[in-house]
Amino acid sequence: MVLILDDILLAPVKMTVWVAGKLRDTALQEMTDEAGIHEELLHLQMQFEMEEIDEAEFDRKEQALMDRLDRARRLKKEMDEG
């Protein structure tokens, strides 16, 4: 009887911990998704080649994506090491 009562009382805490873990996992997955960043770089290159954006905008966005890619690789390496 006491175990059932404990389960009922602790259910909100357990659910909150579970949701927080899922959010963390999803955030880490998005932050280390190199394939997604590569797709964005490809799309950016296509926009530039089709003259939808100028060279200055291309350079600015490309640098931002390259910075994200670098951060993703560093984070993935840190996760693998630790």
pLDDT, tens digit (0-9, with 9 covering 90-100), for 59-79: 999 999 999 999 999 999 998
Q: Total structural domains in the chain?
A: 1
Kindly state whether residue 64 falls inside one of the protein's structural domains.
Answer: yes
Residue ranges making up the domain that contains 78: 54-82
Roughly how many angstroms between the first and final C-alpha of the chain, as a whole number? 42
Instruction: Take residue 55 and report the two structure tokens written for it.
Output: 């060279």
Statement: residue 37 has pLDDT above 90 = yes
Q: What is the pTM of this model?
A: 0.69
Kindly state whether residue 81 falls inside one of the protein's structural domains.
Answer: yes
Kindly state whether residue 76 falls inside one of the protein's structural domains.
Answer: yes
Kindly state whether residue 37 falls inside one of the protein's structural domains.
Answer: no
At residue 18, the 3 state secondary structure works out as helix
Kindly state whether residue 18 falls inside one of the protein's structural domains.
Answer: no
Instruction: Take residue 5 and report the two structure tokens written for it.
Output: 């009562």
Kindly state whether residue 8 falls inside one of the protein's structural domains.
Answer: no
**pLDDT per residue as tens digits for the range 16-35:** 999 999 999 999 898 889 99
Kindly state whether residue 79 falls inside one of the protein's structural domains.
Answer: yes
Instruction: Take residue 47 and report the two structure tokens written for it.
Output: 């926009």
Amino acid 34: pLDDT: 94
23 CB-near residues (< 8 Å, 6+ apart): none
